[in-house]
Amino acid sequence: MAHSTHVTNVRWSHDDSLLASVGGSDTCLMIWSHETEGCREARQCDSEESDIESEDDG
């Protein structure tokens, strides 16, 4: 499983265990785990949701 086009944004989780990526025209959010092969979760999202927001917890 992969994005159908280029990736527009990526963010690591606060504990660096997961990577979230958002595709361009497919507007798909994918959650990746570096401990397992491949995508852990995928879902379609609106274009407004495709901008991944991150908060600094310190």
The answer as to whether 1 is a domain residue is no
What is the reported pLDDT for 46? Answer: 64
Q: How far apart are the first and last CA of the chain?
A: 33
Is 54 inside a domain boundary?
A: no
Is 24 contained in some domain? yes
Identity (one letter) of the amino acid at 56? Answer: D
Q: Which domain holds residue 15?
A: 7-44
Report pLDDT for 44: 63
Kindly give the parts of the chain with pLDDT less than 50.
49-50, 54-58
Rounded distance between C-alpha atoms, residue 2 and residue 7, angstroms: 10
pLDDT at 40: 60
The C-alpha R_g of the chain, in whole angstroms, comes to 11
**0.75 exceeded by the pTM?**
no
How many domains are there within the chain?
1
